[in-house]
Structure 1
Amino acid sequence: MGNLFCCVQVDQSTVAIREQFGKFDEVLEPGCHCLPWFLGKQLAGHLSLRVQQLDVRCETKTKDNVFVTVVASIQYRALAERANDAFYKLSNTRGQIQAYVFDVIRASVPKLLLDDTFEQKNDIAKAVENELEKAMSHYGYEIVQTLIVDIEPDEHVKRAMNEINAAARMRVAATEKAEAEKILQIKRAEGEAESKYLSGLGIARQRQAIVDGLRDSVVGFSENVPGTSAKDVMDMVLVTQYFDTMKEIGASSKSSAVFIPHGPGAVRDVASQIREGLLQANNAH
């Protein structure tokens, strides 16, 4: 109906190409335009100015001969001021962009090792964008953004990479576990050494207290009972301790059989041995 009344409507974010007798005449902006068909003017077509996206999957190999599939996302749009170039110069815009992406990726990735490919994907995207910008600007298109959205190695390569990573992590875990066990053993040994040291101090203090107690008992008994010597008092104390020990052994239900000399002569020998030990302790003290 619009053509019947020589009027045409162009939608927003779109331009129309008008021809006269088959020759480019003018780019029509969004809005309503007069199109006198009887003067040979007609619409050749419309061109969208919206940003479009093209995802390109390119298979190539790295420097270490690993085949990967690189997925690039290209965002582009036609320039309104060069709409005639964008409309007439390219018959297959998406195919042209894809060809340039293939060319750049297959020239860049083979120079990199697999690990470097993942680390330098931004550099690859920048190289693709620069090449596309130079090429597509001649055809009236602008490259808005280029992204490398995925790098997919072969499934066997991915599995091997995961196994290598898992083995490395297990090795680190084993090292840390061994280090922790080493620290525990060192701390345990330090604790045992400290315990033995304190136990030795306790035994030394106990023996010193026994010596001091016996000495005080002998001195006190000699002073309170006239006519007794220190030797007599010491013998009596030792005999008393001897019988107390025998009583405790006999009263214990869990004690094992103990065979010790129990005659008077044996007591005299024990007394002489203890006395000599006490004298040595006093001399040392």
Structure 2
Amino acid sequence: MKGIISVQSHVVYGHAGNSSAVFPLQRMGFEVWPVHTVQFSNHTQYAQGWTGQCFPADAISDLVKGIDAIGQLQQCQAIVSGYLGDAAQATSLIAAVDMVKRVNPKAIYVCDPVMGDPDKGCILAEGISEYLVEHVMPKADVIVPNQFELSRFVGMEITTLNEAIEACQKALTKGPKVVLVKHLHSLSKQQFCMMMADSSGCYLVKRPNLEFDKAPVGVGDLISALFTGGLLKGWPPTMALEHANNASFGVLEATRQCGEWELQTVYAQDQLSEPRHSFAASKVA
């Protein structure tokens, strides 16, 4: 059975990292082989704090070696990465990507370059952001940054649509074949904007920006998973973009209706395969 290796954080309670990405991919019909970089009791936005641990750096490559030893690495369609607990894990991640591609050259690497956001309580260990920019993102087939992470990768500020287009085009010259900017916050306060760029051009999709008392965590992990699933189904990247946008909006809408800030992914699982809303992407460059 073909599968996806997902290298991300894990929370015991709630939905962030692998806890946000694995089930949506399974609901889309994929086998998912999760590798946890850290395991926390809950995500880090809780005022009460959290408990847990970061796993040893070599655990990532060791677990992938184990999958290879039983002859299953050739069944890996993609390796997806998200939050890393320390810079050494990035080195182990690259070794894992190399192993997957050596056994199955058709496998793709999708990198969600989590660089932290102190305002949201997401703090990274020293050196991770620099290593992502210099070594990890250029190695990826697909990158799924937010606006801040894209700015770091290409070395330019993004405040307008034209600058967002320029940044995406510049990113495509640095290694990745597809760029999905999972949130362009500078373009609109009323609408949530995402942009996808590949060799055919740049595409923008918008949806209403839902207000919450506390911002939900794990939305970016959900978007990355949905977009990866769409690509692996053989959909054109624009179709994968629209599905990721529409399905994640459906989950967020259900979450707000429930009066929650933890993503209600299981409750809203039908949105993952058949989203209620349909927001079309438009070509902007």
TM-score (norm 2): 0.20
| Bigger RCO (CA 8 Å, 6+ sep) | 2
TM-score (norm 1): 0.20
More helix by share: 1
